[in-house]
């Protein structure tokens, strides 16, 4: 009788965070789902506060952002939290994706596909938000990235003009970027709910890659407390960065107002886009570079359709583990290469690393299948 008194909404919450059956052997690597939820909440809340004092206009945006530091009570804190929160959001995203690749979570096709869409939307929202302060790197980053669409055959030029809202990156571009940056996080939140729905419908994976249907515990209080500890370890460094060195991860060029007549010596995006930027620059052909840039992320959608192994995940595949950790190294080196100028030897290094990056997705399936046959 008491259970029937729960409203439908409270019933959903109860089954999601209290009575949800959860595998008893999942490790700390499964904490990043809840951490990403916390990051999303931080970004939405701090973004809403910042939007109250922002003016989307090319003549005003840069000065409004600077002026609000001193004139609006604690606005500097929300700005630093929002900027650094984006970096921590991507750290969590990349680790979450890496855990899914290592432990074979991509076999849950619906969960994985929605997760990749969330990753794409978060990347789009981060790019749009980076343009809003209208600093030098913001302006030229928007110009370079939107110009990539001109590589599309036939319609490329029209697409770029449509994105700009004119014949250059100007006030119309900034206005629509602000609107999209405001709306996309709520879309991400809705997709995160769908992601959780599919996850709870299909069940979580576990480090051993075996069925855990007969060995589960309720989510609360076992994993609620575990996730809260993870949140403390994750949010602690974020607040430390906000209070002690808030602009450590920023680009000094972005403290100069955007000027279409002065091109920065080296245009580069934020660190979390550098791996894709290095892949883009590694291809001499413009259209080929755009395709490689898109495929660098979209190739994650191929994972559920890659050759499946006898045991889910790579825990029991030494060759597969070696290849996976090689991919992690390649990813880090691509991030390093993307921050370097477009000159030798960095171009050749980026080309080699890009080849190794894409090779992983082609080799991991056959390599683990060979080991299955040997065993």
- Domain span at 31: 16-262
Catalytic residue among 105, 270, 312, 350: 270
Flag whether 245 is in a domain: yes
Of residues 57, 109, 200, 340, which has the active-site annotation? 200
The region, left, alpha or beta by phi > 0 then psi within -120 to 50, assigned to residue 121 is alpha
Active site residue 226: yes
Catalytic residue check, 227:
yes
Residues 275 and 330 in one domain: yes
Q: Could you tell me the pLDDT band of residue 10, with boundaries at 50, 70 and 90?
A: confident
Q: Would residue 8 count as lying in a domain?
A: no
Q: Is residue 7 annotated as a catalytic residue, yes or no?
A: no
Q: Which of 34, 61, 138, 204 is catalytic?
A: 204
User: Which residues carry a binding-site annotation for a ubiquinone?
Assistant: 200
* CATH number of the domain encompassing residue 127: 1.20.810.10
Percent of the chain with pLDDT over 70: 97
- Which is higher by pLDDT, 175 or 372? 175
Domain boundary pick from 262, 294, 328: 262
DSSP 133: T
In this prediction, residue 2 carries a pLDDT of: 47
Catalytic-residue membership of 221: no
Strand partners, 246: none
Which CATH number do you get for residue 303? 1.10.287
Q: Report the chain's mean pLDDT, rounded to a whole number.
A: 90
Task: Indicate whether 323 belongs to any domain.
Answer: yes
The answer to whether residues 260 and 166 touch, using CB atoms and an 8 Å cutoff, is no
pLDDT for the residue numbered 373: 83
Calculate mean pLDDT across residues 89-95: 96
* pLDDT of 330 strictly over 90: yes
Query: How many domains would you assign to the chain?
Result: 2
Question: Is 204 one of the annotated active-site residues of the chain?
Answer: yes
Q: Are 185 and 85 in contact (CB under 8 A)?
A: no
Same domain, 162 and 250: yes
- Pick the catalytic residue from 61, 227, 253, 257: 227
Annotated binding residues for heme b = 82, 96, 181, 195
What pLDDT does 372 receive? 82
């Amino acid at each position: 009788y008491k259970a029937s008194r729960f409203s439908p909404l409270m019933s959903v919450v109860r089954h999601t965070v209290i009575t949800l059956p959860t595998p008893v052997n999942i490790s700390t690597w499964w904490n990043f789902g809840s951490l990403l939820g916390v990051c999303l909440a931080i970004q939405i809340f701090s973004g809403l506060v910042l939007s109250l004092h922002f003016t989307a206009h090319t003549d005003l945006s840069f000065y409004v952002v600077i002026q609000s530091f001193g004139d609006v009570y604690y606005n500097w804190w929300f700005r630093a939290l929002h900027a650094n929160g984006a970096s921590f959001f991507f750290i969590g995203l990349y680790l979450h994706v890496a855990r899914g690749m290592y432990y074979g979570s991509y076999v849950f096709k619906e969960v994985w596909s929605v997760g990749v869409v969330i990753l794409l939307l978060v990347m789009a929202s981060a790019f749009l938000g980076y343009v809003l302060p209208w600093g030098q790197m913001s302006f030229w980053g928007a110009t370079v990235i939107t110009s990539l669409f001109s590589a599309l055959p036939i319609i490329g030029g029209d697409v770029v003009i449509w994105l700009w809202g004119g014949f250059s990156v100007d006030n119309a571009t900034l206005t629509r970027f602000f609107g999209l940056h405001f709306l996309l996080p709520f879309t991400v939140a809705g997709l995160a709910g769908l992601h959780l729905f599919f996850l709870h419908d299909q069940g979580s994976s576990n480090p051993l890659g075996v069925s855990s249907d007969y060995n589960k515990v309720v989510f609360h209080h076992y994993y609620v407390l575990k996730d809260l500890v993870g949140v403390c370890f994750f949010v602690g460094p974020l607040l430390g960065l906000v209070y002690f060195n808030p602009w450590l991860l920023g680009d000094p060029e972005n403290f100069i107002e955007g000027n279409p007549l002065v091109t920065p010596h080296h245009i580069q995006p934020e660190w979390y886009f550098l791996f894709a930027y290095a892949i883009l620059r590694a291809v001499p052909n413009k259209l080929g570079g755009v395709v490689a840039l898109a495929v660098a992320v979209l190739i994650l959608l191929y994972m559920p359709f890659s050759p499946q192994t006898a045991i889910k995940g790579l825990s029991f595949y030494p060759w597969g583990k070696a290849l996976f950790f090689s991919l992690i190294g390649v990813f880090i080196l691509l991030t390093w290469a993307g921050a370097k100028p477009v000159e030798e030897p960095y171009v050749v290094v980026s080309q080699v690393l890009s080849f190794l990056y894409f090779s992983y997705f082609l080799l991991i399936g056959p390599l683990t299948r060979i080991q299955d046959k040997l065993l």
